[in-house]
Chains A and B, each alone.
Chain A
Amino acid sequence: MDALRLLTPEITITIFAFAIISLDIAWNDENKSRRILPWLAFAGGLATLLMIFYIWPHVDQYNYTAATDAGREVPMLAVDRMSLFFKMIAVLTVILVGLSAGEYVEKHTPFRGEFYGLMLLAGLSIMLLVSSTNLIMIYLALEFLSITSYILTGFLRRDARSIEAALKYFLYGALASGVMLYGFSLLYGATGSVDLATIAGSLETTQAGLVVAAVILMLAGFGFKIALVPFHQWSPDAYEGAPTPITAFLSVGPKAAGLAVLIRVMVVALPAFDVNWTPILSLVAIFTMSVGNLVALWQTNMKRMLAYSSIAQAGYMLVGLAAWSAAPPSAVAYLGGVDAIMLFLLAYMFTNLGVFAIAIILENQMGTSEIADYAGLIRRSPYLSVALLIFFLSLVGIPPTSGFIGKLFVFGAAVNQGLYVLALFGVFNSVISVAYYFGVLRNVFFEKGSDESPIRVGVAMNTVVTITVVMTLLIALYGQPFIQLAADSAQILAANF
Chain B
Amino acid sequence: MPIDYLPILIMLLVAIVMAVVSLAMPHMLGPKIFNKAKQETIESGKLNYGDARRRVPVQYYMVAMLFILFDVEVLFLYPYAVLFWDLKWFGLVQAGIFVLLLVESYVYVWKKGVLNWE
A positions within 8 Å CB-CB of B? 18, 21-22, 25
Which residues of A are found within 8 Å of B55, using beta-carbon distances? Answer: none
Other contacts beyond A21-B104, A22-B107: 8, CB < 8 A: A18-B101, A18-B104, A21-B108, A22-B104, A25-B107, A25-B108, A25-B111, A25-B112
Shortest B8–chain A CB gap in Å is: 11
Q: How far is the CA of A18 from the CA of B101 in the complex (A)?
A: 8
Which residues of A are found within 8 Å of B104, using beta-carbon distances? Answer: 18, 21-22
Q: How far is the CA of A25 from the CA of B104 in the complex (A)?
A: 10
Interface size class of B (residues with CB under 8 A): under 10
Which residues of A are found within 8 Å of B111, using beta-carbon distances? Answer: 25
Q: How far is the CA of A25 from the CA of B112 in the complex (A)?
A: 8
10 intermolecular pairs with C-beta atoms under 8 Å apart: A18-B101, A18-B104, A21-B104, A21-B108, A22-B104, A22-B107, A25-B107, A25-B108, A25-B111, A25-B112
Closest 9 CB pairs of A and B: A25-B111, A25-B108, A18-B104, A22-B104, A25-B107, A21-B108, A21-B104, A25-B112, A18-B101
Shortest B87–chain A CB gap in Å is: 12
Which residues of A are found within 8 Å of B112, using beta-carbon distances? Answer: 25
Shortest A270–chain B CB gap in Å is: 19
Which residues of B are found within 8 Å of A18, using beta-carbon distances? Answer: 101, 104
Residue of A nearest to B107 (CB): A25
Interface centre among B101, B107, B108, B111 (most CB of A within 10 A): B108
Residue of A nearest to B90 (CB): A4
Residue of B nearest to A111 (CB): B112
Q: How far is the CA of A22 from the CA of B104 in the complex (A)?
A: 7
- Per-residue contact bits, chain B 98-118, to A (CB 8 Å; 1 contact, 0 not): 000100100110011000000
Residue of B nearest to A204 (CB): B1
Q: How far is the CA of A330 from the CA of B108 in the complex (A)?
A: 57
Q: How far is the CA of A182 from the CA of B62 in the complex (A)?
A: 31
Q: Is the interface of A mostly helix, strand, loop or mixed?
A: helix
Which residues of B are found within 8 Å of A25, using beta-carbon distances? Answer: 107-108, 111-112
Q: How far is the CA of A25 from the CA of B108 in the complex (A)?
A: 6
Residue of A nearest to B111 (CB): A25
Shortest A5–chain B CB gap in Å is: 15
Which residues of A are found within 8 Å of B101, using beta-carbon distances? Answer: 18
Shortest A298–chain B CB gap in Å is: 40
Q: How far is the CA of A21 from the CA of B111 in the complex (A)?
A: 11
Q: How far is the CA of A18 from the CA of B104 in the complex (A)?
A: 8
Shortest B36–chain A CB gap in Å is: 41
- Per-residue contact bits, chain B 38-55, to A (CB 8 Å; 1 contact, 0 not): 000000000000000000
Shortest A462–chain B CB gap in Å is: 34
- Per-residue contact bits, chain B 75-109, to A (CB 8 Å; 1 contact, 0 not): 00000000000000000000000000100100110
Q: How far is the CA of A21 from the CA of B104 in the complex (A)?
A: 9
Residue of A nearest to B105 (CB): A21
Shortest B107–chain A CB gap in Å is: 6
Shortest A86–chain B CB gap in Å is: 26
Shortest B88–chain A CB gap in Å is: 15
Which residues of B are found within 8 Å of A22, using beta-carbon distances? Answer: 104, 107
Q: How far is the CA of A18 from the CA of B112 in the complex (A)?
A: 16
Interface centre among A21, A22, A25 (most CB of B within 10 A): A25
Q: How far is the CA of A25 from the CA of B113 in the complex (A)?
A: 11
Residue of A nearest to B5 (CB): A189
Residue of B nearest to A22 (CB): B104
Residue of B nearest to A18 (CB): B104
Which residues of B are found within 8 Å of A21, using beta-carbon distances? Answer: 104, 108
Q: How far is the CA of A21 from the CA of B106 in the complex (A)?
A: 12
Q: How far is the CA of A25 from the CA of B106 in the complex (A)?
A: 11
Q: How far is the CA of A25 from the CA of B107 in the complex (A)?
A: 8
Shortest A243–chain B CB gap in Å is: 20
Q: How far is the CA of A434 from the CA of B104 in the complex (A)?
A: 50
Residue of A nearest to B108 (CB): A25
Q: How far is the CA of A148 from the CA of B104 in the complex (A)?
A: 18
Q: How far is the CA of A25 from the CA of B101 in the complex (A)?
A: 14
Q: How far is the CA of A18 from the CA of B97 in the complex (A)?
A: 12
Q: How far is the CA of A18 from the CA of B107 in the complex (A)?
A: 12
Residue of B nearest to A207 (CB): B1
Q: How far is the CA of A21 from the CA of B112 in the complex (A)?
A: 12
Q: How far is the CA of A81 from the CA of B16 in the complex (A)?
A: 51
Shortest A170–chain B CB gap in Å is: 16
Shortest A297–chain B CB gap in Å is: 44
Shortest B11–chain A CB gap in Å is: 16
Q: How far is the CA of A21 from the CA of B103 in the complex (A)?
A: 13
Q: How far is the CA of A22 from the CA of B106 in the complex (A)?
A: 11
Q: How far is the CA of A421 from the CA of B101 in the complex (A)?
A: 53
Q: How far is the CA of A22 from the CA of B112 in the complex (A)?
A: 12
Shortest A269–chain B CB gap in Å is: 20
Q: How far is the CA of A87 from the CA of B61 in the complex (A)?
A: 37
Shortest A102–chain B CB gap in Å is: 23
Q: How far is the CA of A385 from the CA of B57 in the complex (A)?
A: 52
Shortest A193–chain B CB gap in Å is: 16
Shortest A433–chain B CB gap in Å is: 45
Shortest B103–chain A CB gap in Å is: 10
Residue of A nearest to B110 (CB): A25
Q: How far is the CA of A22 from the CA of B108 in the complex (A)?
A: 8
